[in-house]
Amino acid sequence: MLRFLAVRHLAVIDRLEAEFEPGLNVLTGETGAGKSIIVGAIDLLLGGRASADLVRTGESLATVQAIFERPGGGETIVRREVSNQGRSRAFIDDTLATSSALRDLGAGLLDLHGQHEHQALLDPSEHLDLVDAYAGLPDAVAGVCGGPSTDGTAKWTTAMAASASTPVMTKMPGTPIDPLRSGPATIDAANVAPMVMPMAAMARVRTTSRVRSAVSATTAAEMAPAPCRQRPAMTQPMLAPEAATKLPMANTTSPL
């Protein structure tokens, strides 16, 4: 819970201090009064982006500080400083921290609605916890994630240790453990000559073509009519080329 907020030299704000009580606290004001600047100051405490234009004109440093009450009791003080050069520093309980540390801390202290990046429902890392809470499984979750002394964590640690100590079983050559690794070794072990496989493939293609030609010829002969299956013997011998040249040409002129 946010208990106290102090802003110095941020945008149009010179000095501002606000204390918040348990329950609903409402800040009202007309347009331009600075309500959005207060929201921006809280965003800086959550690890938001800082820039030089956030510093009030004429000032060298802007400071935002807040006191948060932790759910388990106690308080946490967070401070963010932004210089007019754009440099930023963050502190958690007067200890220098990073912006990512502010984001991690703020996720458990404050939920700033209105900006999608700070809504827990849109954070995938929060979805499993929300589903477990809706299902009413706090005891089951605590049994697994409650700490090193819980039964579920002990079983998981034992299983991981047993898995790490178990030797990897090797398989006989030829089993597809890793085809990319065993494939080249298998080819090399076969000691195949470079031209053996191409020549064998070409011979197979030629043999197949001859068989198909023979089958086609046999099929065509079987489908032909009976008179065409055998040619009649020639009754007269063929003329020699010299005799053929001496034959008279046929008269193709029609009689009148």
* Mean pLDDT on 144-167: 71
Percent of the chain exceeding pLDDT 70 equals 61
**How far is residue 126 CA from its own chain's centroid?**
20
Helices 138-145, 124-135: inter-axial angle, 10-degree rounding:
130
Residue pair 128/144 in contact by the 8 Å Cβ criterion: no
* Mean pLDDT on 201-227: 59
Spell out the alpha helix ranges (H) of 51-150.
Answer: 99-109, 124-135, 138-145
Question: Mean pLDDT highest for which of 77-91, 117-131, 216-230?
Answer: 77-91
Looking at residue 67, its pLDDT comes to: 94
Structure tokens at 190: 């076969």
CA gap 99, 88 in Å, rounded: 9
Does 169 or 127 have the greater pLDDT score? 127
- Give me the residues paired with residue 2 across strands: 68
Looking at residue 106, its pLDDT comes to: 83
Looking at residue 146, its pLDDT comes to: 59
Looking at residue 119, its pLDDT comes to: 64
pLDDT-based confidence at 245, cuts 50/70/90?
very low
* Mean pLDDT on 29-53: 88
pLDDT of 164 higher than 50: yes
Q: What is the largest CA-CA distance in the chain?
A: 137
Residue pair 42/13 in contact by the 8 Å Cβ criterion: no
Hey, is 149 helix, strand or coil? coil
* Mean pLDDT on 232-248: 47
Domain 2-23+35-114 has CATH 3.40.470.10: no
- List where CATH 3.40.50.300 sits in the chain: 2-23+35-114
- For residues 138-151, one letter each, b for 16 or more C-beta atoms within 10 angstroms of the residue's C-beta and e for the rest, the string is eeeeeeeeeeeeee
Nearest to 10 by CA among 49, 60, 85: 60
Does 14 or 210 have the greater pLDDT score? 14
- Say if pTM beats, i.e. exceeds, 0.75: no
Does 99 or 254 have the greater pLDDT score? 99
Does 199 or 85 have the greater pLDDT score? 85
Does 242 or 50 have the greater pLDDT score? 50
- What is the arrangement of strands in the sheet containing 61-69, beginning at the earlier edge strand? 13-19, 2-10, 61-69, 75-83, 88-92, 95-97
